[in-house]
Structure 1
Amino acid sequence: MLSRFRLGIDAGGTFTDFVLAEDTGEIRLYKALSTPSDPTLAIHAGLDQIAADLGLTPAEIVSNCDLCINGTTVGLNALIQHKGARTGLICTAGHEDSIEIRLGHKEDGYRYDAEYPPARMLVPRHLRRGVRERVISDGSVRVPMEEEDVRAACELFAREGVESVAISFVWSVLNPAHERRAAEIVREMLPNAVVTVGSELYPQVREYTRTSTAITNAYLAPIMGRYVAAVDRTFRALGARQPVRYFQSNGGLATGEAMTDRAVYAINSGPASAPQAGLYVTAPLGVKNVITVDMGGTSFDITLTRDGVTNVSKNTDFLRYRIGMPMIQVETLGAGGGSIGWIDAMGLLQMGPQSAGSDPGPACYGRGGAEPTVSDANLVLGYLSPAGLLGGRLPLDRDRAVAAIESRIAAPLGLTVEQAAYGMFTIVNNNMVNGIRRVSVERGFDPRDFVLVGAGGATAAHITALAREIGIDTVVIPKLASGLCAFGQIISDVKYNHMATCPVRLDGDDVYARVGALFEEIEARGIAELEANGFPRDRIRIQRSLDMRYVGQVHECTVEIDRFRLDAGSIGAVKEAFHRRHEELYTYAERHNAVEVVNLEATLYGIVDKPPQKPLRAGSGAATALAGRRVAIFSADGAGVEVPVYDGSRLGAGDVVVGPAILEETTTTIVLEPSWTARLDAGGSYVITRGA
């Protein structure tokens, strides 16, 4: 039951967003500049804004929250910048180089590029120590573990200053005894080290994936541990009644302890909540096919939801590191408001992926940035208000934007500043459209069958141009767009994934007992975990899935199944579900072929009460919200046209604005190109459609 408040915080690369839900149904949005060196500073800044707005102290706000939820890029940034913990690996002797061999795989797009450099290893070669031991594929011990090898590895790690250790042995998923004993020795000899045990973190078949996942988790765990401890201290000091919840890359909430132990779930913590929010704002339209795009100051994130289900990927390469854990599939580009425009060696204009971020930021911020960025281009094009962003709290300097574009782009290319700005706008849009095509067209989906939802502070200035280019006719921009991921957090449930390996053919005599018993075992662990988090049994939902393949295949596919009793009568339905899924993915099925299970997974949800939302007041016509006019540019020749500018805070439900026009909300600006029309609905979203 919602108490007075619920708070969602999404820490991005440029801004940290705060969404506060009140028991009255009021939803409030605030933004503060991110402080990567100490994220708690941005949290304090945001709480100070909320306190000033409500006439309360930060302690009064936090102590009256039923939940404080945090989504963070700390783990992602550590992986991108290779600033994780000094990590050691203990593995089966002879397998020290499996993470470097990578199954002989190169990422798609570089498979035949001989000059493409190898991935940077998170564990250097001298810190990968082999242990003489061997468990074989039936789970029996062929070679007992030499404990002295583990002790020798620990002595080396102590000398080298290792603060996190990953342990991954061959076939440990069938017999984890050696890994567990090795972990006991590590904890005894290195009591301050964080230990990640592969068979506990990712108990599924595939030794390379398990090892890579364990290493990535170990690499991030100390970073996340320090971050979680700092955030928890901050909220405890302010009187928080419940532990802070953290948003995971699997699309659900978790406690800080779970987030530290399973730090790999923090990688896509921020953007993973966007699909939930996208479905929420399109629900009044009866829409379940949604592409959600989020353009902030640094990046552009894309997720696709079909028939109400967002694609979850496992066993994928993320930033060149194989991750086995289930993650909301997010396509991320280096395209944000701070993305820098530059001219390459061939004299062609490029945008990003490098970003000015929040420090120094775009040239127009007046904080010392000299490089021309997307925000500078949007200001010159007339899309952004010269009075500044965030209701004027972040002033913009048009002269600095003009100077940056003139010196770095326009003059070298022989263009006017306006032409150069529109070129920058067009190129960054093309980059984003290509990303949308990757999650839709390249995966067999027609984007014209989807509604485009805009999230992030910078998206709305580009949204109609993106929709026009990709062929989408309906766009939804919530008033909360710039904090939509933070909003997605406050309407999400706690979510834990529990996995097991179970190599068994579906025509075997013991299949029903083995699979059923394993599901019951892992579900019992998940239920206990959620009950410890305060969820009664009637607030826990369980979803099952199986990784299956045809006998003889190398790769398996995941099939969701209902939670029914597995027996001779129901196994046929499981097989048929696999055949249909295989046909959907690969266009064919082999119903005559034998099917085998490889892994199984139970996803457990702790259902959280959703905050109410107050409908908008009825509008009295868009004319009452007209705030003025300014010149905007919608063509490559740089010619400007005068367009009306509307104050979004004065628009009500049912009001209609016809483009070309600009709609200014406090934290985002919507640019309506010619032939687009926006209608504000009672739920607080602009439904934007394209005319003939």
Structure 2
Amino acid sequence: MPGPYMIGVDIGGTFTDVAMLDAETGEQWFGKTESTPPGFEAGVVKGITGVLAQTGRSPEDCAGFVHGTTLALNAILTRSGARLGLLTTEGFGDVLEIGRLQMPDPFNLYTQKPVPLVRRQFVAEVAERVLGSGDVLTPLREEAVREAAARLVGRGVDAIAICFINAYKNPTHEIAAVEIVQRHHPTVSVSRSSEVWPEIREYERAMVTVMNAYVAPKVRTYLDSLQERVDEMRLAGPLHVTTSNGGMLPARLVKERPGTTLLSGPAAGVIASAQLSETCGIDNVLALDIGGTSADIAVLTKAQIPYSTETRIGDFPLIFPSVDVSSVGAGGGSIARLDNMGVIKVGPSSAGAVPGPACYGRGGTSPTVTDAYLATGILDPENFLGGQLRLRPELAREALAALARQTRYSERELAEGVLRVATSNLLVGVARAEAHKGIDTR
């Protein structure tokens, strides 16, 4: 009689992968299906149901369900998270704009600073002050918080991050502010820095709190819906979610701190790469995981999992303890466009699974990396997703031709240019990861 088994699921912006492991025999089965945004749980259930049908196993025999996801990561890279506001100490409203006073490319006179996740008009300052010792200099007034929160909600925010100066030393003002906001605006999601990351360095603490608040509504809604669907199919195993540090947490804890899943999927990939390199006896490994929206890069030496408290997600620093993996917005669904100088750019915006690349035939009209691969003959239109999805080359060429007409290139030349730019984006990410480790794989 078949024994208990484990289910592993990884969802990306384009596809969902499912794996089953027999806990007693070690036998493995795999499945792949399309992701189903915005209701990603439907794709997960479809994938699990397919593997269960393939193996003839019962949902009641499931011993555990481990879930990796790029939901939070993709929300950051594609700027598709919550409509977010920030409450901060009076006089510190420019914390995200100023950052660390570092330009992305100090040698480029035309370089531009990254646009913050919270624009300045959605930042509200509150009169309060805690000293570096933790002593209160200026008490917090309830009416000040209430008025600031009302202004932000009136401007349409559905989530608020709270980051007061020196709150890592004394969180009482932040705790009180959270209670006031939730009392008057119970439907608004609230994150406070003294809970998310109670450490010194104001900009980094604010940035982590903003990221946590930015992805919180999407992650919580998804996990609630997934748990409901899993309960309906009577899958017995408890639901755990992989976290940025390579571990895993019960779903109920992840909903309290959704920012811990920012590198959930990528971290799980690095853990697998380390295991594979050890099994194969390979000491030094460059791990590259290219999905539909992002590409994740990690450098492993001596088959050891790399960890860091300073990594980056797109344009932003992340100081959560995490597996040392960097992400760039370059995947199969990344959209090609022209900038204001007429130069071809690829990503970070992605067509995702819906409508997907133009060649999917689901209404997408923007040319993507997948369209370029298809138009140049690299992809087989009849054998995509194991033959489950037939691609339409004529739609890919049509989307590329529309962009090509804005340039001096032919459709074929533009497709090749898109692939060169996408590859260059990946190489830049790889070079940065190597430089961070002080190695050169050439």
TM category, shorter = 0.7 to 0.9
Residue 149 (1) aligns with residue 150 (2)? no
Residue 429 (1) aligns with residue 414 (2)? no
Unpaired segments of 5 or more residues in structure 1?
A: 448-470, 472-692
Answer whether contact 2:241 2:254 (CA < 8 A) is retained.
yes
Give, in whole Å, the separation in 2 of the partners of 1:182 and 1:126. Answer: 17
**Counterpart in the other structure of 2:21:** 21
* Structure 2 length-normalised TM: 0.84
Give SS of 2:241's match: strand
**Counterpart in the other structure of 1:72:** 69
Q: 1:8 to 1:205 in 2, by over 3 A?
A: same
* 1:621-660 Cα shifts (integer Å, max 9, x gaps): xxxxxxxxxxxxxxxxxxxxxxxxxxxxxxxxxxxxxxxx
* 1:335-361 Cα shifts (integer Å, max 9, x gaps): 333445667888877655554443444
Give SS of 1:104's match: coil
Answer whether contact 1:4 1:65 (CA < 8 A) is retained.
yes
Q: Which amino acid is the alignment partner of residue 64 of structure 1?
A: D
Provide the identity percentage.
33
Answer whether contact 2:89 2:127 (CA < 8 A) is retained.
yes
Give, in whole Å, the separation in 1 of the partners of 2:382 and 2:241. Answer: 36
Q: Which amino acid is the alignment partner of residue 215 of structure 2?
A: L
Give SS of 2:6's match: strand
**Aligned length in residues:** 439
Residue 199 (1) aligns with residue 194 (2)? yes
**Counterpart in the other structure of 2:48:** 47
* 1:255-287 Cα shifts (integer Å, max 9, x gaps): 222222212222222222111111122222222
Give, in whole Å, the separation in 2 of the partners of 1:355 and 1:209. Answer: 27
Unpaired segments of 5 or more residues in structure 2?
A: none
How far 1:446 sits from its partner (Å)? Answer: 2.2
Q: 1:88 to 1:393 in 2, by over 3 A?
A: closer
Which structure has the larger Rg? 1
Give SS of 1:180's match: helix
How far 1:430 sits from its partner (Å)? Answer: 3.9
Residue 128 (1) aligns with residue 121 (2)? no
Q: 1:202 to 1:4 in 2, by over 3 A?
A: same
Residue 325 (1) aligns with residue 315 (2)? no
Q: Kindly report which structure 2 residues correspond to 1:518-557, keeping only aligned pairs within 5 A, or say none.
A: none
Give, in whole Å, the separation in 1 of the partners of 2:206 and 2:119. Answer: 11
Answer whether contact 1:279 1:288 (CA < 8 A) is retained.
no
Q: 1:318 to 1:369 in 2, by over 3 A?
A: closer
**Counterpart in the other structure of 1:304:** 299
How far 1:387 sits from its partner (Å)? Answer: 3.3
Q: Which amino acid is the alignment partner of residue 72 of structure 1?
A: T
Q: In structure 2, which of residues 377, 386, 391 is the aligned counterpart of residue 391 of structure 1?
A: 386
Q: Kindly report which structure 2 residues correspond to 1:455-494, keeping only aligned pairs within 5 A, or say none.
A: 471=442
Give, in whole Å, the separation in 1 of the partners of 2:154 and 2:238. Answer: 37
Q: Which amino acid is the alignment partner of residue 126 of structure 2?
A: G
**Counterpart in the other structure of 2:253:** 258
How far 1:231 sits from its partner (Å)? Answer: 1.1
Q: 1:156 to 1:290 in 2, by over 3 A?
A: same
* Structure 1 length-normalised TM: 0.56
Q: In structure 2, which of residues 221, 227, 230 is the aligned counterpart of residue 232 of structure 1?
A: 227
**Counterpart in the other structure of 1:547:** none
Answer whether contact 2:12 2:71 (CA < 8 A) is retained.
no
Q: Which amino acid is the alignment partner of residue 29 of structure 2?
A: R
**Counterpart in the other structure of 2:90:** 93
* 1:307-337 Cα shifts (integer Å, max 9, x gaps): 3334333355534444332233333334333
Q: 1:3 to 1:291 in 2, by over 3 A?
A: farther
Q: In structure 1, which of residues 162, 166, 178 is the aligned counterpart of residue 173 of structure 2?
A: 178
Give, in whole Å, the separation in 2 of the partners of 1:232 and 1:109. Answer: 44
Residue range with higher mean Cα deviation, 424-433 or 328-337: 424-433
How far 1:440 sits from its partner (Å)? Answer: 0.9
Q: 1:52 to 1:444 in 2, by over 3 A?
A: same
How far 1:35 sits from its partner (Å)? Answer: 1.5
Q: In structure 1, which of residues 100, 104, 109 is the aligned counterpart of residue 101 of structure 2?
A: 104
Give SS of 1:270's match: helix
Q: 1:29 to 1:195 in 2, by over 3 A?
A: same
Answer whether contact 2:70 2:266 (CA < 8 A) is retained.
no
Q: Which amino acid is the alignment partner of residue 307 of structure 1?
A: K
Q: 1:340 to 1:220 in 2, by over 3 A?
A: closer
Q: Which amino acid is the alignment partner of residue 388 of structure 1?
A: N
Give, in whole Å, the separation in 1 of the partners of 2:97 and 2:18. Answer: 41
Give, in whole Å, the separation in 2 of the partners of 1:399 and 1:114. Answer: 38
Give SS of 1:246's match: strand
Give, in whole Å, the separation in 1 of the partners of 2:331 and 2:84. Answer: 32
Give SS of 2:21's match: strand
Residue 292 (1) aligns with residue 287 (2)? yes
How far 1:161 sits from its partner (Å)? Answer: 5.8
* 1:472-496 Cα shifts (integer Å, max 9, x gaps): xxxxxxxxxxxxxxxxxxxxxxxxx
Give SS of 2:99's match: helix
Give, in whole Å, the separation in 2 of the partners of 1:389 and 1:379. Answer: 10
**Counterpart in the other structure of 1:276:** 271
How far 1:305 sits from its partner (Å)? Answer: 1.6
* 1:551-594 Cα shifts (integer Å, max 9, x gaps): xxxxxxxxxxxxxxxxxxxxxxxxxxxxxxxxxxxxxxxxxxxx
How far 1:373 sits from its partner (Å)? Answer: 4.8
Q: Greater share of strand residues, 1 or 2?
A: 1
Answer whether contact 1:165 1:193 (CA < 8 A) is retained.
yes
Give SS of 2:264's match: coil
Give SS of 2:13's match: coil
Answer whether contact 2:375 2:397 (CA < 8 A) is retained.
yes
**Counterpart in the other structure of 1:218:** 213
How far 1:36 sits from its partner (Å)? Answer: 1.5
RMSD between aligned residues: 3.5
Residue 8 (1) aligns with residue 8 (2)? yes
**Counterpart in the other structure of 1:244:** 239
